[in-house]
Amino acid sequence: MKISLLVVVGVVAAVVLASLLLKSRVVRPVRVTVADMPRILAAVSASARTPTFAAFVFTTPDQPNSKDAVNLQFSLENGRAGLDWVLLAPRNVRDKDRFIGYLHRRGYSFVERKMNRVVYLRIEDGDLPQLCAEIITGFYARPRDEPIDMIVEGFEWTS
């Protein structure tokens, strides 16, 4: 009887611990608009934690299906904030050449990097909040006041 009670208590403890750990890692996006970009970049830049990023996920008027979502992110890399175009989402891969042309026409330079077997284009110079807003509203024709999803890591976001 004592052994079976210990087994039950052990199993219950393991389930409770596992559920607490899983709950703490559930990613819940928050809704932001392009007007929030300067504050978001400031929060990313001020963080001392690794990793730190604010990932934006959104669809566009011409391709509203979630499988065609675009991904952009502000991140902290080697203590420096930047804007990343991660070549993981199919839409980002398809739009890579157009995106590079867009950057060149606006005078932005970028470097192509690879981390964890994922290639991304990184921009570190210039007005990054403005560039991010222009990509969302100009390059992708999304309304300025329409909320997009943001996933954060490494800092607390309060709207």
The tally of domains found in the chain comes to 1
Whether the Cβ atoms of residue 71 and residue 54 lie closer than 8 Å to each other? no
- pLDDT the model gives residue 8: 34
CB 114 within 8 A of CB 74: no
For 85-106, how does the pLDDT look when each residue is reduced to its tens digit (9 = 90+)? 999 999 999 999 999 999 999 9
Mean pLDDT of the chain: 87
Is residue 31 within 8 Å of residue 148, measured between CB atoms?
yes
Q: Establish if 6 belongs to a structural domain.
A: no
pLDDT of the residue at 18: 39
pLDDT, tens digit (0-9, with 9 covering 90-100), for 47-91: 999 999 999 999 999 999 999 999 999 999 999 999 999 999 999
Count how many residues are written for the chain: 159
Question: Where residue 24 falls among pLDDT bands split at 50, 70, 90?
Answer: low
Does residue 7 sit within a domain?
no
Residue 134 lies in a domain: yes
What beta strand segments (E) does 23-96 contain?
Answer: 30-32, 53-58, 70-77, 80-86
Tokens of 78: 């080697």
- CA 24, chain centre distance (Å): 18
Say how far apart CA 51 and CA 101 lie, in whole Å.
Answer: 29
pTM: 0.82
Q: Give strand pairing partners of 30.
A: 150
Cα–Cα distance measured from residue 138 to residue 106, given in angstroms and rounded to the nearest whole number: 12
Structural domain contains residue 10: no
Predicted pLDDT at 26: 74
Q: How far apart are the first and last CA of the chain?
A: 54
Is residue 18 one of the residues assigned to a domain? no
% of the chain beyond a pLDDT of 70:
84
Segments forming the whole domain that contains residue 78? 28-153
- pLDDT tens readout for residues 103-139: 999 999 999 999 999 999 999 999 999 999 999 999 9
**What are the pLDDT digits (tens) for 25-44?**
577 999 999 999 999 999 99
DSSP annotation of 68 reads G
Q: Is 67 a member of any domain?
A: yes
**Domain-located, residue 5:** no
